[in-house]
Structure 1
Amino acid sequence: MAHTPDDASDTRVEGGSLVGGQFDPTTVEAVGKLSAALETVEVARGHLYQFHRLSGTADFEVEEAIGLLRKAGHAEFADELETHLLGRNVLPGRWTFQVVEGYDETYYQPFRGFEERSRQLTGGHRHLYEAQLKRDRRSPGVPGHEATPASST
């Protein structure tokens, strides 16, 4: 596959700084791995928010069930649900919003900070590893393999 340096992100880093249009491949790979790890954490965080939303929805559905049970004459069971299940903590002392906040403050925000700092090693470029993969895998001059959106028009 021919290589044509026609993409602005078509660079590498050597020793953490731009040298001769190239960056050190191991540094690029390491920063790419850290960025990929952050993407995984983003997915995990999304699942955590989904857990938060689903748990809250379930609590509102329990509330509706309690009302229906009372209406159907099952007040004792409805009272038991209202006392012991409605509004119950999902973890000791925590509702789901507190779990989400704890994750964000304890893990997610520091992780994002480290990933952002790592990009200083690659001249501030984002997704440099992926840009290198794109450069290496695309077929210049073939439709659907353009280097940039502007070159595809």
Structure 2
Amino acid sequence: MTVDRSRPDLDDTTVEGLGRLSEALETMEQARGQLYGFHQHSGKADRLVQEAVELFREAGHSQLADDLDRDLVGRNVIADRWTFQVVEDFDDNYWSVFRAFDERARTELSGGDRHVLEARMKQRERTAGHPAHEAGPALSE
């Protein structure tokens, strides 16, 4: 017996709310990826500055090398923090809470089913019987 992931037992407003929350989480996942990109790019930039410092020293530009080394290499990107601390704080205090609420909403409202809104869209938009429009796993005809 196949379970219909489009959850016909749920009202449209609940399904739309689950879909909106899921979309919000997906958007936050993209933002998190950009934050991790910022973290990695910042670290790479710091390493490149360190290389520039060594090259300036080698070329005899000691004062500039010393100033860069003292004032820029290893500098906090925001008050009291390097980017790894920003990422950790974000993960611990926002992202994990966001994911927990998404899971809670799915558990309480749809028995844990994900992408119910999309499953309904698939049922509505596919052409039954077409070989490239199969219902797929856990989606009844």
Map of 1:65 onto structure 2 = 52
Once superposed, what is the RMSD of the aligned Cα atoms?
1.9
1:20-78 per-residue CA deviation (whole Å, 9 max, x = no partner) reads x5211111110111011000000000000000000000000000000000111101100
Displacement of 1:141: 1.4
Out of 131, 138, 150, which is 2:119 matched to? 131
Q: Structure 2 counterpart of 1:139, which letter?
A: T
- The offset of 1:149, in angstroms, is 5.8
Query: How far 1:7 sits from its partner (Å)?
Result: 6.2
Once the two structures are TM-superposed, the CA of residue 139 in structure 1 deviates from its matched residue by 0.7
1:28 matched to which residue of 2?
A: 15
Is 1:148 aligned with 2:113? no
Distance of 2:72 and 2:58 partners within structure 1: 19
The number of aligned residues is 138
Q: Which amino acid aligns with 2:135?
A: A
Moved over 6 A (4+): none
Contact 2:6/2:123 (<8 A) preserved:
no
Q: How does 1:61-100 map to 2 (within 5 A)?
A: 61-100=48-87
8 Å Cα contact 2:5-2:113 kept in structure 1: no
Give secondary structure in 2 for the equivalent of 1:48: helix
Report whether the alignment pairs 1:108 with 2:95. Answer: yes
Structure 2 length-normalised TM: 0.91
Q: 5+ residue gaps in structure 1?
A: 1-5, 13-20
How far apart are the structure 2 equivalents of 1:43 and 1:49? 10
Deviations 1:96-142 (A, max 9, x none): 00100111111101000000000020122111111011111111111
2:6 corresponds to which residue? 11
% of aligned pairs identical? 53
Work out whether residues 10 and 131 of structure 1, in 8 Å CA contact, stay in contact via their aligned partners in 2: yes
Indicate the SS of the match to 1:125: coil
Question: How far apart are the structure 2 equivalents of 1:93 and 1:71?
Answer: 32
- Tell me the TM-score normalized by structure 1: 0.84
